[in-house]
Structure 1
Amino acid sequence: MQGDAMNETEPTRRAYLKYAGAVAAGGLLAGCTADGSTEAQETTTGGTASPETTESETEQTTVKPEESYSVSMAPVGTVEFDAPPEHAMVVFSHYADMAVALGQSETVESLYAPEFAGKSLETFYARLDGVSLEWDGLPDPLSDGVDKEMLYELDSDVHFVDPSYVVETQDGWDTDDIEEIADNVAPWFGNYHSGLTDKPAAAYVDNYRYYTLWELFENVAAVYQERQRYEALRAVYDDVVSEIESSLPPEPERPTAARVTLIDDTFYAYKLNAPGFWHADTRPLGATDAFADIDWDGTWGMFDYETMLETDPDVILHLWGMSPGYYIDDIRKRVANHPVGSQLSAVQNDRFFAGGVRFQGPITNLFQLELTAKQLYPEVFGQWPGYVPGEPYPEIPEDEQLFDRKRVADIVAGEP
């Protein structure tokens, strides 16, 4: 692994990290920067759905940090490390959230749309004492596309991004370029297509498999040699899901719900209960998906106000509703002031809610499971107090919290 001569490279690295690229968040919010594909959560390409609680089958070698070790994950295969990474190239925020959860926030040295993603993560971290991410000033690796020169300059110890994503979406990249960076800088370690279990780039189809969010987190924990933190956080997650599943009302009594992002006058809709880690915060809640019987090609369906009114879900969850530029108060006001939008039941009954982020890691997943449970089933999990734009995640009475904040903060701090 590269980066051992840190004293020689550090001035260049720190100077480079002061650069922050321009942010184009529209694509990120609607779907992503590149693809438009559907989601499934499978253990192998074309395989059977794998639940969020399934343990990872990835082979991992647990050794003392001072020894070399290997971690295996599709599509990158077995990756060798001389030591846990001290510098990590990150694109999407779920990998940043994983690093933070493992007590490794200082290793994150890049982030897509840092002003947007960083502030979104901080909304949740503000409720965990001592947990934070220094995102201000991080370079955006997608501002001008993934660039070899930038990767050489960063000289990271690991690239937390799927090489299939890079080959498929970035101009001028092929598998030879991927191998060049892996040989000369550091290995790739990412699995993008598990978000939607969509088809990977042709070069990776034969070796691809899909993972749950918590399986991905387990693999990243192996890279950092942080098994204990992973297991402690996994226990918190398992308790949350167990409480949710044991408390859900019978299916006929559950509300109809839609998860959307409003951009201009178009609602970009997502499946609530489809497999894939993009839905790791809605699938366990088992609400009746208002769009379950509507098929579409690509990542999302696109609907106008009239179609939304025809569907008329009981609850509308607005993705990114706690993020800059998409704060729920502004979105709700726009919809309520529209002659058709004002007729939506979710608007009239004050059930048009701020959802969380799509690229969720373990910490954001815990918070988003809680907020979604309250928004869908207030009579079971307690009333959602609403979100004030620009403020932290709202205070929840201790007896209505679905997980212990202090417990999570202690785990991150290394006191599992």
Structure 2
Amino acid sequence: MSGTPAETPTRREYVTGGVALIGGGLLAGCTSIGSETNSGGTSEKSTTGTTADDGSYSVTMAPAGKVEFDGVPENVFSIFPQYADMAVALGHGDAINSIYVPEMSGKTMNTYYDRLDGVSFDWNGLSDPLKNGLSKELLYQLDSDVHLVDPAYVSTQNNWSQSDIEDIRNNIGPMFGNFYSGTHDRPPEGYRDGYQYYELWEMFGKVADVFREQERYRELKKVHDDVLATIENKLPPKSERPTAVRVTYSDGKFYTYHLNEPGYWLADTRPLGATDAFAEQEWGSLWGTVDFETMLEADPDVILHLWGISPGYYLDEIQTQIENHAAGQKLSAIRNDRFYAAGMRYQGPIMNLFQLEMTAKQLYPEQFGEWPGYVTGKPYPEIPKGERLFDRQRLSDVITGNF
């Protein structure tokens, strides 16, 4: 855009962070959203934002509160892949300037996108905001219109104070994200009053408001609603469902995760309602750590290995290590070929659709068709059209704007 300095708005004028801080009475109560099928966002009601006569608009989400924008963000900071995936889904993937471990996150996202015509994410050259700890200098360098990150999460990082967060908001751009909805963990002190928990697709609706892509969001949510309806209609009775656990294996230990608890980290397992092999375990958080003997004692029918399609965690390498252990080779999931590659917990809407389909097939092959397995480094496997939980072309058309 050309013009004199007086005519051309700076980025600070372009996107401003009029944030009403928590504790000021704007946000009251801590709401827990129940079912993924009842998520809010912009599909069942008008936009969560408001528009002023001058074309500026605001979007509200805890803990940031009410954030004001003068235009659609064009340069966007993110840490975790769910926000990058949201941007891609809304047609704004090119706006993302940073992501956690770009090669791992980017390759994982493209593992799914390779099955969608015209959809991809260029992660090459993106900054890794956590490579050397979250840096204020990096945020100034990137000069982003908006930071899709939870200020409560930022406050827990080394060398960050509340005044630092305010400086970023005032001098660069607002923070707009919600981290603790992933696990429903308690946010840090100073952010507990007014903190709200959102489901994945509700939070996605709010990000859609930031990008002013409400119509695209509504169409995407229809795809998601259809997937949930298909799953609900085909699920076997609870008494016929397998026992399962989601894990990450490392150095002789299984980091184990519950399947059916609240939080968007479980948006791909909770709707499928498998019997959690460790449901009675109280870990004090969403995950715990067990050894081979404890895993063998529980002996779940299905083991879903988190990150199993991501570089550094590929399933074949992990499975070989487990099979070489005296107790590991006795696990029913290993003996019966029901040790599967699962997706990422940091999932956005596109990832969530594929991971719901993947997990449905892994848990319930008789109802949803056999999972063909994942080949290391390759795209998401080709699924016969009659066994897909959603139409790839329909999804592609919405993402690329051809709807």
TM > 0.5 between the two? yes
Unaligned runs of 5+ in 1: 7-42
Match of 2:66 among 78, 82, 104: 78
8 Å Cα contact 1:106/1:134 also seen in 2: yes
Superposed CA offset, 1:132-169 (max 9, x none): 1110110111111221221111110000000000101x
Aligned to 1:190: 177
Looking at structure 2, the residues matched to 143 and 66 of structure 1 have their Cα atoms a distance apart, in angstroms, of 40
Distance, in Å, in 2 between the alignment partners of 1:151 and 1:4 is: 20
Whole-Å separation in 1 of the counterparts to 2:361 and 2:52: 42
Q: Shift of residue 247 of structure 1?
A: 0.7
Match of 2:20 in 1: none
Quick one: distance in 1 between partners of 2:87 and 2:369? 31
Identity %: 56
Does the CA contact (< 8 Å) of 2:51 and 2:58 recur in 1? no
Show the 5 A alignment for 1:229-244. Answer: 229-244=216-231
CA distance in 2, matches of 1:208, 1:62: 21
**Alignment partner, residue 90 of structure 1:** 78
Alpha-carbon RMSD across the aligned residues, in angstroms, is 1.8
In the alignment, which residue of structure 1 is the partner of 2:36?
52
Per mean C-alpha deviation after superposition, the further-off stretch among 145-154 and 259-268 is: 145-154
Deviations 1:329-382 (A, max 9, x none): 111121112111000000000000000011000000000000000000000000
Structure 2 residue 135 is matched with structure 1 residue 147 = yes
1:352 aligns with 2:339: yes
Q: TM-score, normalised by structure 1?
A: 0.88
CA distance in 1, matches of 2:173, 2:246: 38
Distance 2:28 2:244 in 1: 30
CA–CA distance in structure 1, aligned partners of residues 55 and 388 of structure 2: 41
Deviations 1:71-125 (A, max 9, x none): 0000000000000100000100000000000000110000111011111111101
| Equivalent position SS for 2:245 | strand
Matched, 1:328 2:281: no
Task: Summarize deviations over 1:298-332 as a string: whole Å, max 9, x none.
Answer: 34110111110000000000000001111111111
Choose which of 170, 186, 198 in structure 2 pairs with 1:199. Answer: 186
For residues 203 and 33 of structure 2, the distance between their equivalents in structure 1, rounded to whole angstroms, comes to 15
Find out whether 1:135 has 2:119 as its counterpart: no
- Residues 44 and 210 of structure 1 are in contact (CA less than 8 Å); yes or no, is this contact kept in structure 2? no
Structure 2 counterparts to residues 163-178 of structure 1, below 5 A: 163-168=151-156, 170-178=157-165
Select 1:379's aligned residue among 350, 359, 366. 366
What is the rounded CA distance, in whole Å, between the counterparts of 1:265 and 1:182 in structure 2? Answer: 43
Distance apart, 1:282 and its partner CA = 0.2
Shift of 1:47: 4.5
- Tell me the distance in 1 between the aligned counterparts of 2:356 and 2:308: 15
**Partner of residue 61, structure 1:** 49
Structure 1 partner of 2:328? 341
Instruction: Give the secondary structure class of the aligned counterpart of 1:237.
Output: helix
Q: CA deviation at 1:215?
A: 0.6
Aligned residue among 219, 223, 248 for 1:261: 248
- 2:282 matched to which residue of 1? 295
Describe the shift of the 1:49–1:82 C-alpha distance in structure 2 as closer, same or farther (beyond 3 A).
closer
- Name 1:223's counterpart in structure 2: 210
Of stretches 228-237 and 145-154 in structure 1, the one that deviates more from structure 2 is: 145-154
Q: CA offsets per residue over residues 174-207 of structure 1, 9 Å max, x none?
A: 2111111101100000000000011112111102
- Measured in 2, the distance between the counterparts of 1:66 and 1:369 equals 42
User: Which letter maps to 1:51?
Assistant: S
SS in 2 for 1:216: helix
Query: How many Å apart are 1:173 and its aligned residue?
Result: 1.1
CA–CA distance in structure 2, aligned partners of residues 398 and 65 of structure 1: 48
CA shift, 1:64, in A, is 9.7
- Contact conserved, 1:69 with 1:81, CA < 8 A, in 2? yes
The change in CA–CA distance for 1:65 and 1:304 in structure 2 (over 3 A counts) is farther
> Which of 384, 388, 391 is residue 401 of structure 1 equivalent to?
388
TM superposition shift of 1:56: 2.4
Residue 113 of structure 2 is aligned to residue 125 of structure 1: yes
Kept after mapping to 1: 8 A contact 2:369/2:387: yes
- Aligned residue type for 2:159: G
What's the CA shift for 1:68? Answer: 0.6
Instruction: State whether residues 78 and 99 of structure 2, in contact with CA within 8 Å, keep that contact through their aligned partners in structure 1.
Output: yes
Bigger mean CA deviation after superposition, 58-67 or 155-164: 58-67
Aligned residue type for 2:344: V
- For residues 299 and 370 of structure 1, what CA distance do their matches in structure 2 show? 23
> Which amino acid in the other structure matches residue 376 of structure 2?
P
* 1:295-314 alignment runs, 5 A limit: 295-314=282-301
